[in-house]
A and B are shown apart, each in its own frame.
Chain A
Amino acid sequence: MSAKSSEKSSKAPVYTILLGLIVAAIFLVAIFSYQVQETERALVITMGRITGECGPGFHLRLPLPIQEIVKYDIRERCFEGNTGSLEETMTQDEKNVIVGIYTIYSIEDLKQFKNAAKNLDAAEEYLSNRMRTVKGAVIGQFRFDQMINTDPKKMKLTEIEKAMFDQIAPDVKARYGLKVVKVGIRTISVPTKISTAITERMKKERETAASIDKQKGKVEAEKIKTDANQKKREEITRAEAQAKQLMAEGDADAARQYAVFSQNPELAAYLRKLDSLKRIVKTKTTLVLGTDSAPFDLFNMKVGELQQPAKAANK
């Protein structure tokens, strides 16, 4: 019994020590190391002084209060400005516009940022003020028709953005270590009075356009119809000319055949007369003939005779 107890008492400290070592190791690693994410950069501050800057990975450090590690997310972020986004700005040609801008920036110079800004909000406050000031200054250098224009050559929106970028980026970098990579325009609007006037003008324009379209449609339709009729007339005229030519050819061909009638012109004329008679006398014709005309001369003949008395006398 006592031997078993002594074996147990000798094993217990081994586990205890192992466990203690594991726990101690974890605590030591936690206290003497840090890691920086891929999206971050870290400033090493030793006894209140910036002594280094670290990229992503595992790093050793001295514990607080000797060394402090401050990490910053260095990815690009979009900032729309806190104030002044609805302020009216005057263009070079004295037209009021309301322009909203945004910036895309990242924290580049950690040391500068740490020294100048209490926190990100303070830096953004400054950035917002710069955006507000620069926007007014830059817009004032351009005319309204350089902001909106159907002619792309006259459009200067890209130039406006670049001018704002050129004024904001170096200043913000020098002051807070922020790297502005883009300044863009997110809204362009006009004061209420002007927008109301624009909508009124649009209404009038549409009404005029409607009237013009109606007239235009009618005129165009009329023109198409006239052209079609003209073409039809031309086509018919051409066809009639061709038809006349064909008929003349037919008549000429027919005339060539008439030579045969010269063998006995009287008979030919007689046959023509008969033919004409057939054609002329139709159903509604009223014929009045004397009994001396054949075949009514039969009425004058005596039964049993072949010749009429008058005719016979004439003969």
Chain B
Amino acid sequence: MSNENNRFRDAAGVSDSGQFSTGTAALMKLAKALFYLMTAIIVVMIIWFITFGGAVIVDGTRETVLKLHFGKYQEKFTSGYHWCLPYPINTIVRVPKINQTIRSTTFMPANRKALLERKKDENGGSDSLTPGKDGYLLTGDNSIVHTEWELVYKVDKPEQYYTHCLTPVQPLDPDDIVKGENGENLGTRGATTMIRNLLDDSIIKVTARWNVKNILYDRTNEYISEVKALLIRQIQERQLGISVESLALPVKRPPVQTIDAFDEAASASTQASIETETARAYAIETANSAKSEAAEIIANAQSYKERVVSEVVADKVYFTKLLEEYRKNPESVLVSLYSTTLADALAQSKDKYAIGINPGSRQELRLKLNPEPVIKKNADTEKEEKP
């Protein structure tokens, strides 16, 4: 220790006084302590570097990890625990694997709420559509329609996605915001922005050849499918490494000023359909009724045919039997038949009058045709009696 002190003293060219030796010794102690501290830090860093620093845990359900060796793509980890030397030797890039949603409101008006609630702007706002503020689509029949789209996609080729399309430094982050010279917001830049533009491009191209009625009512699904097909084609052309999971059209409306007219037209169309359906139901009912009536007519005729023949056959049998008896005793048979028949007839008839016949006398019989019913007559009489 004293040797070291002497060495410092010699080097500093100072005289060996008690005052300096104490200070030098303290400085030496501090330098030594700093040296050991730095050594410890470096050792810890080296240990961290070759252990935890290189650990890569991949959540296979949410992400795919790309390993870049000195910046060059080397391999990808899809799940589990991996170890590789950390940055700057290897760079780890996490690319999202889960479904991602882009909601395009490019073609919606500024007052989206009023459109969704199907009512005109009550805050004194203009009903007209201002370019740059109110978004809309022009249809093939030169009409205006508002749409809001929801695209769900996922990255199925992460290396292609990362290397072809400008993403934020970490692709999981939202797109970068582009600022103007005065700090104004000029939009965003990144993969999501590019995909949204491709979606809008596809929507415009397809909508420009469709008519508004088909988009809103008659062939909406076909329209969405056409947009989706064009979007997929554009994404494949750009080799973005993503796949479209679904494309939905949650909002489709005519301009708010025309909603009432569209509603009325839709209602008229529905009313017309109802009338037509009612008429169709009537037609079915009438056809069934015709069938049933026709069947009844034919059945009656068939029954008549059978009845007439069977009656005649029965008469024939009756006549044959009776003829035999008649030949044996004609008068008795005739009287018997006459009496039986007359008895039956008289038993059924309401009024019977037996008039005594006096040959040679002038008798006069007066009968009232259509006599008034007794009950009615009695009732009339009672009425007259009451005051």
Chain A positions near chain B (C-beta within 8 angstroms):
5, 15-16, 19, 22-23, 35-40, 56-58, 73, 75-80, 82, 85-86, 98, 102, 104, 147-152, 155, 157-158, 181-182, 184-192, 195-196, 198-199, 202-207, 209-211, 213-214, 216-218, 220-225, 227-229, 231-232, 235-236, 238-240, 242-247, 249-251, 253-254, 257-258, 260-261, 263-264, 267-268, 270-271, 274, 277-278, 280-292, 294-296, 299-300, 310
**Residue interface mask B267-298, A partner, CB < 8 A = 1:** 11101111110111011001101110111011
B residues near A243, Cβ cutoff 8 Å: 297-298, 300-301
The 8 lowest CB-CB distance pairs between A and B, nearest first, are: A217-B272, A250-B305, A239-B294, A243-B301, A221-B279, A228-B283, A150-B140, A232-B290
B164 contacts partner chain A, Cβ-Cβ < 8 Å: yes
Please pick, from B88, B209, B275, B349, the residue contacting A151 in the complex, using a CB distance under 8 A: B209
Interface size class of B (residues with CB under 8 A): 35 or more
B28 at the interface (CB under 8 A from A): no
A228 to B309, CA, bound (A): 37
Specify which of A104, A225, A285 is in contact with B350 (CB 8 Å cutoff).
A285
The answer to whether B70 and A57 have CB atoms under 8 Å apart is yes
Minimum Cβ distance to chain B for residue A110 (Å): 16
Task: State how many angstroms separate the Cβ of B132 from the closest Cβ of chain A.
Answer: 4
CB < 8 Å neighbour of A150 from B144, B211, B268: B211
Q: Which of A231, A247, A291 contacts B290 (CB 8 A)?
A: A231
Is B138 touching A292 in the complex (CB atoms < 8 A)? no
Q: Is the CB of A195 within 8 A of B342?
A: no
Q: Is the CB of B180 within 8 A of A202?
A: no
Q: Is B201 an interface residue (CB 8 A)?
A: yes
* Least distance between B88 CB and chain A CB atoms (Å): 6
Residues in A with CB closer than 8 Å to B138 are 147-148, 188-190
Interface presence of B24 (CB below 8 A): no
Which of B1, B289, B297, B304 is in CB contact (< 8 Å) with A239? B297
Apart from the given pairs A37-B91, A218-B272, A299-B354, 10 other A-B contacts in the complex at a CB distance below 8 Å: A157-B205, A189-B129, A202-B212, A203-B257, A213-B269, A214-B268, A217-B268, A250-B304, A271-B319, A282-B349
Distance from B213 Cβ to chain A, minimum over Cβ atoms (Å): 8
List residues of chain A with CB within 8 A of the CB of B163.
38-39, 75
Q: In the bound complex, what is the Cα–Cα distance between A254 and B70 (angstroms)?
A: 114
With known contacts A150-B211, A253-B309, A206–B68 Cβ distance under 8 A: no
Q: In whole angstroms, how far apart are the Cα atoms of A294 and B144 in the complex? A: 101
From B276, B287, B335, A221 is in contact (CB under 8 Å) with: B276
Please give, as numbers and ranges, the residues of chain B lying within 8 Å of A155 by CB-CB distance.
140, 208-209
Among B165, B238, B258, B282, chain A packs the most CB atoms within 10 A around the CB of B258
**In the complex, chain B residues whose CB is within 8 Å of the CB of A271:** 315, 318-319, 322, 337
Q: Is the CB of A287 within 8 A of B345?
A: yes
Q: With A and B bound together, what is the CA distance between A15 and B274 in angstroms? A: 96
B197–A80 CB distance below 8 A:
yes
Q: Is the CB of A38 within 8 A of B348?
A: no
Chain A CB within 10 Å, residue with most, of B319, B335, B353: B319
Tell me the bound Cα distance from A220 to B276 in angstroms: 6
Please classify the interface of chain B as helix (H, G, I), strand (E, B), loop, or mixed, using the class held by over half of its residues.
helix
Are B367 and A250 touching (Cβ within 8 A)?
A: no
Closest Cβ of chain B to A313, distance in Å, is 11
Most chain A beta-carbon neighbours within 10 Å: one of B127, B278, B282, B312: B312
Docked CA distance A239–B269 (Å): 39
User: CB distance A247 to B301 under 8 Å?
Assistant: yes
- Which of B1, B136, B307 is the one whose CB lies under 8 Å from A189? B136
Q: Is B51 among interface residues, defined by CB-CB distance under 8 A?
A: no
